[in-house]
């Protein structure tokens, strides 16, 4: 199976559970399970090849210019992790099927789980660090959804937020580190980076890169001091904890450290930093875990501790350490996943996870007890279980590691960690299952159904099998270790074995186990001391930190944004004018190079009218109706100026837009006050006038300079003029630019227009369904309303004119390619023809005759335009390449057909739909406001029996 498919399967599959849940929980489960199983089988088909030393790859160029390509490869390390993610994923999916209650939305859960799974598989198979980072962030996001799955629990929400904050910040650091790494090597290909150990370690940027990458790994893998998010993530449903904290999420950090081991490890900083952080985390985690009463909290801190252990092993920088780390990753995944599931079973059966309320369950839940004991002893590091073998290797490695010039330090700390680890493991078993049976369990304890115990039971096969015969895993572990080491060092001589003879490590192990038993025996007094001791609560520190940050940000933005739009606008204008003035007075003024066009009487007349209209508008702006009339005048003058200055297309467009804009504003004014109250003080008005005049003078000066100078570089208009007919088949260059040269822009523009109309529709819906509805219904109009809402003359006229106007629209559309006109103008004209019917004959009358919803017309327009564009693919040309030809059907003259016309049809439809949908939405508001519904276009019709009077 292609590697692409292995990564894509969980993502694609994530779409299914949400749909399948409608067919029932069982179908939903089977679908999810099948998706993961397919991916797992696909992965396993590569196993023989990888075993022989092949590295399957899959490459797809995405943004080659940035070095960001969808490159995947499957080496043994990736195979082991992908196998863990998908294999344990299968068990978790099965376990969750029986764990989730009927109140939980199983489809949602499985969708999140598959998203997370896909992101994890993506990380371990990436061969491009940028793609890896994308998947890395995806795991943070999807784990946020999983941890906060129980949205009704505040702990769940807080835990999810904390996990996202910590791992997200780490992710940011990681991005920085990876980019630096890519800069050093000059490539973002992981395989290339891995071959440049000397180059990277000699670079002065090695240290920052290392620190940033380690920050990312430490946060993800919950290393001290970033460990605190992990226990809080325990408020997630137990299957999530079992998945995230045994095999996947927290192992991602370790995976990356192992992946980059060949280029990053071995330096003094690496050894000191990674080893000490690992050791510290191991001991602290194990120490705290012992005192946790909640089973999942105990396991959470134990996970922190084991992650520290693996971190330490990777930090030593020896190949033996790497081998031990690989083996312990496998072992920890198996026993920890099982233990989490056991905690879930206990919770399910007894309705509590508090060990103070548990104990004596061994006879009531014998099967669970068996699984818990096997997995727990493995966690404690008892011989014959797999945890023992890798822990022995860790102690062996500790004996040979020197930190801070003290050979004994590491040995002692590692033994201490192992001791606490044994202690909490024993406590997990004994305080839950051993001891006397109690009578006050919150529920009647019993072994669960097979769906719950089978998944952890299956995990006992490697726990016991590899514990008794570790040599079985040796070829595979060596293979993976080879991939981690990446040929920069010799493979270790040592073998995986149960018995190495009477070694110092065995003695340390014995000390740990015996010490752990003694430590457990002292639990009572120790716990009292622990609880009496003041200790820093990481969550409180985190919370107050976040709160301080949020408050600071709120105060800052509040000062900046005080909610006064007027102030922002004033500051904006003043700043822009100030910057412009600075440039103007400090730069070199360009001398005029063009001769001024002679001033004509028409020009002066238009100019004078415009100035007068604008002046009156400002003077009488409190009278809103007058403002609208003046706006109409200004729009008309602007259209005429366009026409005067040789732009007929613009003139046509402007004048038709003017009509619909004024209608729209009139509709709005129907609801708004008719007058603007006088509020501003004289000082304020003066200030605004000064700002406005400043802006006006600046724009006038700018325009003057531009108009009097020549183009600073050759205009590309020449190209368009020369090629409009040859390449686009049209004489109207403006239209050819719109539908051909810049067709893609136009495509975007009609989409924007459609979105605007839909936004208006949605807002109207929201208004009509909210509290505004009642206000509209009870609303009084300020002024007397017209007695004759639908005058006879107007009804007759508009109806007679309708076909004529439509014909004009068709004419304007058809001639658009060669003469002024086109889809935009034609669309506006047709819209006006329809609006006239609404105005003259009433909304209800016109609406009942309108067969196609305007949304559909917008959609059809965008679709037609898009399909025209796609059509050129079939001719092997890029999107929106136009074609045209000349045809002749006798007895007609020769005529032209161009694909651009089909595109223009799309523009036409989108414009009609958008304009009509906007206006219709506004008038729907009006209908709600008490206008009587008219069934007939004319209110006065003597032939009708009942005559309705309006107004």
Q: Which residues contact 562 (CB under 8 A, 6 or more apart)?
A: none
Cis geometry, peptide bond prior to residue 616 (ω within 30 degrees of 0): no
Q: Is 692 or 797 the residue whose CB approaches other proteins more closely?
A: 692
Listed ranges 20-28, 220-228, 768-776, 864-872: which one lies at the site for other proteins (CB under 8 A): 768-776
Instruction: Pick the binder of other proteins from 215, 421, 653, 899 (CB under 8 A).
Output: 653
Contact residues for 517 (Cβ-Cβ < 8 A; gap 6+): 422, 423, 426
* Residues paired with residue 781 on neighbouring β-strands, in sequence order: none
Residue of 351, 547, 785, 948 interacting with other proteins (CB under 8 A): 547
CB-wise, 521 or 605, nearer to other proteins? 605
Q: Does 780 bind other proteins (CB under 8 A)?
A: no
Binds other proteins by CB under 8 A, chosen from 461, 521, 550, 777: 550
Segment lying near other proteins (by CB under 8 A), choices 28-36, 242-250, 331-339, 761-769: 761-769
Site for other proteins contains 583 (CB under 8 A): no
CB of 140 to other proteins, least distance (A): 19
Closer residue to other proteins, CB minimum distance, 497 or 617 = 617
668-701 as b/e: b if 16+ CB within 10 A = eebeeeeeeeeeeeeeeeeeeeebeebbeebeee
Considering the complex, state which of residue 199 and residue 668 has its C-beta at the smaller distance from other proteins. Answer: 668
Instruction: Quote the CA–CA distance of 343 and 484 in Å, as a whole number.
Output: 33
Cite the DSSP H helix spans in 495-600: 504-521, 523-532, 538-560, 565-586
Q: Are 152 and 101 a contacting pair, CB within 8 Å?
A: no
- The residue within the footprint of other proteins, chosen from 44, 517, 776, 805 (CB under 8 A), is 776
For other proteins, the closer of residues 51 and 607 by Cβ is: 607
Nearer to other proteins, 445 or 635 (CB): 635
d(CA 116, CA 127): 19
Q: Who's near 337: CB < 8 A, 6+ residues apart?
A: 88, 91, 92, 242, 243, 246, 247, 456, 459
Smallest gap from Cβ 890 to other proteins, in A, equals 26
- Min dist CB 396 to other proteins, Å, is 45
Task: Figure out which of the listed residues 19, 522, 571, 692 binds other proteins, where binding follows CB under 8 A.
Answer: 692
Nearer to other proteins, 248 or 918 (CB): 918
Report in angstroms the alpha-carbon separations of 222 from 219, 295, 422, 637, 681: 5, 19, 21, 69, 61
Exposed, middle or buried, 823 (CB in 10 Å: 0-12/13-18/19+)? buried
Site string for other proteins, 125-154 (x = CB under 8 A): -----------------------------x
Q: Rounded to the nearest whole angstrom, what is the least distance from the CB of residue 574 to other proteins in the complex?
A: 10
Integer Cα distance of 687 and 685 in angstroms:
5
Q: Which CB sits closer to other proteins, 412 or 554?
A: 554
What would the x/- binding string for other proteins be over residues 604 to 623, using CB under 8 A? x--x--xx--xx-xx--x--
Q: Does 105 help bind other proteins (rule: CB under 8 A)?
A: no
- The distance of closest approach from Cβ of residue 672 to other proteins in the complex, given in angstroms and rounded to an integer, is 6
Nearer to other proteins, 499 or 704 (CB): 704
Nearer to other proteins, 699 or 867 (CB): 699
Q: How far is the CB of 726 from other proteins (least distance, A)?
A: 10
Using CB under 8 A as the binding rule, the residues of this chain from 722 to 751 that contact other proteins are 724-725, 731-734, 737-738, 742, 745-746, 749
Q: Among 67-75, 142-150, 374-382, 556-564, which window interacts with other proteins (CB under 8 A)?
A: 556-564
Query: DSSP assignment, residue 356?
Result: G
**SS3 of residue 623 by DSSP:** strand
Q: How far is the CB of 593 from other proteins (least distance, A)?
A: 11
To which residue do tokens 């080879």 refer? 482
701 interacts with other proteins by CB under 8 A: yes
In the list 564, 686, 848, 933, the residue contacting other proteins (rule: CB under 8 A) is 564
d(CA 457, CA 371): 6
Which residue among 342, 350, 880, 911 contacts other proteins (CB under 8 A)? 911
Residue 493 vs 679, nearer CB to other proteins = 679
Residue whose entry in the numeric block shows the structure tokens 């003139």: 651
Among 820, 842, 861, 871, binds other proteins (CB under 8 A): 820
CA distance 730 to 737: 10
- Smallest gap from residue 920 Cβ to other proteins (A): 11
Q: Inter-axis angle of helices 366-380 and 386-399, to 10 degrees?
A: 20
Closest CB to other proteins among residues 155, 474: 155
Which of residues 480, 513, 828, 865 is near other proteins by CB under 8 A?
A: 828
Closest separation between CB of residue 146 and other proteins, Å? 19
**913-932 footprint of other proteins as x/- string (CB under 8 A):** -xx--x--xx--x-------
Among 45, 272, 406, 551, which residue sits at the site for other proteins (rule: CB under 8 A)?
Answer: 551
Taking CB under 8 A as the criterion, the residue among 207, 514, 579, 707 binding other proteins is 707
Site string for other proteins, 655-684 (x = CB under 8 A): --x--xx--xx--xx-xxx--xx-xx----
The verdict on 777 binding other proteins (CB under 8 A) reads: no
Which two structure tokens, joined as six digits, stand for 547? 């709160």
Residue 759 binds to other proteins (criterion: CB under 8 A): yes
The count of chain residues that interact with other proteins, using the rule CB under 8 A, is 128
Q: Does 638 participate in binding other proteins (rule CB under 8 A)?
A: yes
**φ, ψ dihedrals at 894, nearest 5°:** -65, 135
Do the Cβ atoms of 88 and 333 come closer than 8 Å?
A: yes
Question: Is 119 or 911 the residue whose CB approaches other proteins more closely?
Answer: 911
Q: Distance between CA 579 and CA 576 in Å, rounded?
A: 5
- What contacts 24+ positions apart, CB below 8 Å, involve 591-595? 592/708, 592/709, 593/708, 593/709, 593/710, 594/707, 594/708, 594/709, 594/710
CA–CA distance, 327 with 332 (Å, rounded to integer): 9
CA distances (Å), origin 719, targets 405, 649, 669, 714: 75, 20, 46, 10
813 lies in the site for other proteins, by CB under 8 A? no
CB of 750 to other proteins, least distance (A): 9
Instruction: Name the one range near other proteins by CB under 8 A: 475-483, 488-496, 598-606, 887-895.
Output: 598-606
d(CA 483, CA 329): 15
Per the CB < 8 A criterion, the answer to whether 298 and 426 are in contact is: no
């Amino acid at each position: 199976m292609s590697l692409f498919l292995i990564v894509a399967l969980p993502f694609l599959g994530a779409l299914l559970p949400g749909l399948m849940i409608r067919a029932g929980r069982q179908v939903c489960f089977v679908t999810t399970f099948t998706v993961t199983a397919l991916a797992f089988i696909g992965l396993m088909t590569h196993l023989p090849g990888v075993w022989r030393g092949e590295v399957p790859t899959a490459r797809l160029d995405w943004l080659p210019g940035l070095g960001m390509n969808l490159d995947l490869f499957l080496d043994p390390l990736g195979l082991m992790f992908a196998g863990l993610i998908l294999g344990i994923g299968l068990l978790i999916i099965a376990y969750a099927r029986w764990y989730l209650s009927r109140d939980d939305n199983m489809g949602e859960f499985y969708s999140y789980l598959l998203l997370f799974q896909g992101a994890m598989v993506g990380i371990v198979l990436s061969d491009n660090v940028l793609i890896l980072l994308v998947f890395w962030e995806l795991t943070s996001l999807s784990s946020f959804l999983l941890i906060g799955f129980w949205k009704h629990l505040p702990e769940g929400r807080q835990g999810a937020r904390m996990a996202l904050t910590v791992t997200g910040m780490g992710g940011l650091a990681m991005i920085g580190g990876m980019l630096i790494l890519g800069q050093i090597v000059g490539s973002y290909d992981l395989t290339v980076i891995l071959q440049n150990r000397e180059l990277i370690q000699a670079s002065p940027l090695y240290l920052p890169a290392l620190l940033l990458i380690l920050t990312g790994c430490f946060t993800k893998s919950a290393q001290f001091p970033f460990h605190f998010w992990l226990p809080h993530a325990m408020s997630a449903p137990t299957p999530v904890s079992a998945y995230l904290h045994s095999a996947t999420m927290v192992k991602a950090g370790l995976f990356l450290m192992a992946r980059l081991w060949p280029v990053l490890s071995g330096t003094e900083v690496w050894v000191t930093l990674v080893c000490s952080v690992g050791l510290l985390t191991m001991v602290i985690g194990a120490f705290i875990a012992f005192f946790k009463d909640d089973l999942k909290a105990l396991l959470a801190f134990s996970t922190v501790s084991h992650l520290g252990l693996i971190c330490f092993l990777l930090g030593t920088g020896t190949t033996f350490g790497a081998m031990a780390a690989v083996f312990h990753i496998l072992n920890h995944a198996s026993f920890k996943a099982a233990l989490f599931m056991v905690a879930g079973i206990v919770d399910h059966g007894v309705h509590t996870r508090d060990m103070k309320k548990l104990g004596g369950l061994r006879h009531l839940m014998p099967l669970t007890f068996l699984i818990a004991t096997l997995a727990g002893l493995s966690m404690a590091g008892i011989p014959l279980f797999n945890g023992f073998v890798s822990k022995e290797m860790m102690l062996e490695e500790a004996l040979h590691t020197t930190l801070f010039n003290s050979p004994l330090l590491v040995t002692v700390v590692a033994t201490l960690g192992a001791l606490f680890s044994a202690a909490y493991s024993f406590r997990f078993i004994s305080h839950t299952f051993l001891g006397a049976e109690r009578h006050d369990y919150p529920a009647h304890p019993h072994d669960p159904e097979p769906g719950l115990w089978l998944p952890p039971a299956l995990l006992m096969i490697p726990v016991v099998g590899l514990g008794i015969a570790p040599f079985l895993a040796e070829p595979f572990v060596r293979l993976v270790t080879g991939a981690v080491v990446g040929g920069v060092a010799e493979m270790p001589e040592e073998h995986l074995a149960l018995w190495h003879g009477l070694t110092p490590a065995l003695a340390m192990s014995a000390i740990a186990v015996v010490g752990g038993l003694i430590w457990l025996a002292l639990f009572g007094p120790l716990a009292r001391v622990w609880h009496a001791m003041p200790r820093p609560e990481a969550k409180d520190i985190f919370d107050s930190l976040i709160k301080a940050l949020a408050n600071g940000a709120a105060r800052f933005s509040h000062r900046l944004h005080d909610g006064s739009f007027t102030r922002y606008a004033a500051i904006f204008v003043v700043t822009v004018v100030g910057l412009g003035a600075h440039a103007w007075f400090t730069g070199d003024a360009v001398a005029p190079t063009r001769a001024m066009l002679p001033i004509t009487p028409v020009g002066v007349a238009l100019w004078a009218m415009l100035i007068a209209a604008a002046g009156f508008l400002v003077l009488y702006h409190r009278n809103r109706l007058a403002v609208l009339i003046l706006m109409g005048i200004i729009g008309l003058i602007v259209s005429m100026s366009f026409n005067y200055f040789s732009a007929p297309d613009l003139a046509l467009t402007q004048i038709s837009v003017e009509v619909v804009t004024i209608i729209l504003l009139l509709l709005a004014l129907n609801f708004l006050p008719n007058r603007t109250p006088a509020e501003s003080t004289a000082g304020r008005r003066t200030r605004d006038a000064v700002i406005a005049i400043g802006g006006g003078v600046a724009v006038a000066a700018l325009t003057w300079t531009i108009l009097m100078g020549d183009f600073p570089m050759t205009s590309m208009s020449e190209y368009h003029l020369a090629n409009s007919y040859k390449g686009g088949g049209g004489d109207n260059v403006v239209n050819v630019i719109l539908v051909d040269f810049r067709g893609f822009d136009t495509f975007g523009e009609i989409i924007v227009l459609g979105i605007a109309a839909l936004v208006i529709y949605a807002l109207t819906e929201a208004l009509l369904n909210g509290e505004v509805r009642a206000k509209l219904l009870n609303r009084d109009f300020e002024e007397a309303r017209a007695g004759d809402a639908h005058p006879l003359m107007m009804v007759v006229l508009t109806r007679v004119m309708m076909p004529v106007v439509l014909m004009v629209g068709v004419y304007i559309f058809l001639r658009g390619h060669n003469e002024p006109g086109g889809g935009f103008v034609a669309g506006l004209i047709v819209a006006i023809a329809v609006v006239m019917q609404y105005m003259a004959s009433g909304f209800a009358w016109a609406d009942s005759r309108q067969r196609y919803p305007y949304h559909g017309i917008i959609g059809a327009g965008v679709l037609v335009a898009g399909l025209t564009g796609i059509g050129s693919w079939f001719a092997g040309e890029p999107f929106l390449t136009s074609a045209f030809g000349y045809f002749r059907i006798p007895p007609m003259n020769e005529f032209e057909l161009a694909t651009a016309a089909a595109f223009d049809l799309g523009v036409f439809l989108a414009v009609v739909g958008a304009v009509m949908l906007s206006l219709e939405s506004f008038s729907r508001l009006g209908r709600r406001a008490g206008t009587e519904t008219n069934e007939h276009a004319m209110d006065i019709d003597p032939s009708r029996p009942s005559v309705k009077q309006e107004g």
